[in-house]
Amino acid sequence: MALRNMVDKVKPTFEKGGKLESLHSTFDAFETFLFVPDRVTRKGGTHVKDAVDLKRLLIIVVLAMVPALLFGIWNLGQQHSIVFGLDWGFWQKVWYGFVRIIPLYLVSYIVGLGIEFVSAQLKGHEVSEGYLVSGFIIPLIVPVDVPWWMLAIAVAFAVIIGKEVFGGTGMNIWNPALLARAFLFFSYPSKMSGDTVWVGGLNKALAGGTPWKGGEVVDALSGATPLSHASLDGLSAAGTTPWNLFLGDIPGAVGETSVIAILIGALILLATGVASWKIMCSSVLGALLVGWLGNIGGVSDIPCWEMLLMGGFAFGTVFMATDPVTSAQTECGKWIYGFLIGALCITVRLFNPGYPEGMMLAILLMNTFAPLIDHYVVNANVKRRLKRAKTV
């Protein structure tokens, strides 16, 4: 194979003693991306190994997010054209979304992978593929108008403080993608919350006082996500039906609006067994329970099932709560962890009018407590073992 010969030819340059030794990890990352390595099993271990590796598992997660991304790209153009009163066709909308999302991906991957490559080289490790997923999620959960330099800082924060200081992929406590979003949210709240950040170009137009076509339409729509008027009256006043919530043609972060696209992703993850069905299931149960309690308690008039369709709940449950590193590691712990995420998310929504989107904080909080949950689950096993010893 010509490509293989080429790689073999340049390989010595990057090996120990070669001219570009300092780029060894980077070279290795690209080589193993192109070719499953020729390494064989070692002494003292199993002689055969399963075909699955992290690249395979993580590419499935990325694939599962593609429907949400594709829908989000179209929806960017859709929302923009509604607010600005533009009479765009399908491809125009897609092109608009595409042009807006690509820079975010470039920033996310260049900054994030850049840091990963450097730190892998410093530690003398191979580059871990973990950031492929985090980097894919980040543009899907931030406002499309976020300035690129802000995103770059947020990504750097998430990768360095959120991951590398703990020892890199597999050792982190918080989901890196959510950490980037939380960083943006707390550092630059004006770009992250409010009614106007979720439609591409709207904030800028408002700030600049630029007149735009169909300005009156905006009074009714105003670009706010349904969460900011989370009552049945509020929803119907904004003209949002549960069907809109399910389909996702509403303002919001790129990846989170379309429940149907997220469900396709969930099916892929569950069919391949990559994500834990226990976490997804228990998160939905927790959300339904609290939503139902809030409904009969008179806190909110929205039926509990509609809560599942709103905001970042679906995206968070399917793609972020199930992160194997930051979730609970024990099977029993997963039920508790997922349930609390769902319950907390809806609790925040019901009782905190100032900040209606509870999913980010619910997941980050439960990431923090996941080791504690595991500790008690594992301790039960330890106690069982000790008890067994005493009874004999």
Partner 1 sequence: MSDQIRLKKGLDLPIAGAAFCEVTTRVKPDLVAVRPTDFRGMVPRLLVKEGDSVKAGSPLFADKKCPAMVFCSPVSGVVEAVVRGEKRKLLAVVVKADGKDEAVHFDVSKVSSLDKKGMTGLLLESGLWPCLKQRPYGTVADPEATPKAIFISAMNTAPLGADPEFALKADVDAIQAGVNALGKLTQGGVHLSLGARNFAGSEFHRLTGVVFHQFEGPHPAGNVGVQINHISPINKGEVVWTVDLHLVAVIGRFMQKGVLDMRRIIAVAGPAAVNPSYAEVPAGVSMKQLTKYFGEGDIRIISGDVLSGEAVGPDGFLGFYHNQVSVLKEGHYYEMLGWANPIRGKKFSFSRAYPAFLCCKKKYDMDTNENGGERPFLVNDVYGKVLPMDIYPVQLFKACLAGDLDKMEQLGMYEVIEEDVALCEYVCPSKIEIQNIIRDGINLMMKEL
Positions that interact with partner 1 (CB under 8 A): 1, 3-4, 32, 34-57, 59-60, 126, 128-130, 167-171, 271-274, 276, 324-325, 329-331, 374, 378, 381-382, 384-386, 388-389, 392
Q: Please report how close the Cβ of residue 192 comes to partner 1 at its closest, in angstroms.
A: 29
- Between 78 and 283, name the residue whose CB sits nearer to partner 1: 283
Measured CA to CA in angstroms, residue 178 lies from 137, 185, 320, 359, 387 at distances of 9, 10, 8, 10, 41
Shortest approach of partner 1 to residue 31 CB, angstroms? 9
In this structure, are residues 245 and 306 in contact, taking their beta carbons and an 8 Å threshold? yes
Four-CA torsion 263, 268, 274, 279, nearest 10 degrees: 20
CB 194 to partner 1: min, Å: 37
The rounded distance, in Å, linking the Cα atoms of 103 and 387 is 59
Element (H, E) at 82: helix 54-83
Q: Judged by CB, which is closer to partner 1: 45, or 354?
A: 45
Alpha-helix runs per DSSP H in 222-354: 232-237, 242-247, 259-271, 277-296, 304-307, 313-315, 331-351
Residue 204 or 384 having the CB closest to partner 1? 384
Task: Give the tokens for residue 328.
Answer: 């609970």
Tell the residue number behind the tokens 């339409």, with chain if given: 217
Beta carbon nearer to partner 1, 49 or 204: 49
The terminus-to-terminus CA distance of the chain in angstroms comes to 65
Cα–Cα dist 311/388, whole Å: 48
Cβ contact 145:200 at 8 Å? yes
Q: How far is the CB of 104 from partner 1 (least distance, A)?
A: 24
Closest approach, Cβ 370 to partner 1, in A, equals 11
CB of 392 to partner 1, least distance (A): 6
- CB nearer to partner 1: give 51 or 220: 51
Cβ at position 51, least distance to partner 1 in Å? 4
Closest approach, Cβ 36 to partner 1, in A, equals 4
Q: How many CA atoms lie within 13 A of 238 on its CB side?
A: 23
Nearer to partner 1 among residue 16 and residue 19 (C-beta)? 16
Enter the tokens of residue 9. Answer: 């030819």
On whether the CB atoms of residues 345 and 217 are closer than 8 A, the answer is no
* Least distance CB 386 / partner 1 (angstroms): 8
Considering the complex, state which of residue 16 and residue 43 has its C-beta at the smaller distance from partner 1: 43
CA dist 226 and 235 (Å) reads: 6
* DSSP 8-state class, residue 223: T
In angstroms, rounded to a whole number, what is the distance separating the alpha carbons of residues 239 and 353?
20
Residue 307 vs 377, nearer CB to partner 1:
377
| Residue 248 burial (C-beta neighbours within 10 Å; 0-12, 13-18, 19+) | buried
DSSP state of 128: P
Q: Which is nearer to partner 1, 67 or 311 (CB)?
A: 67
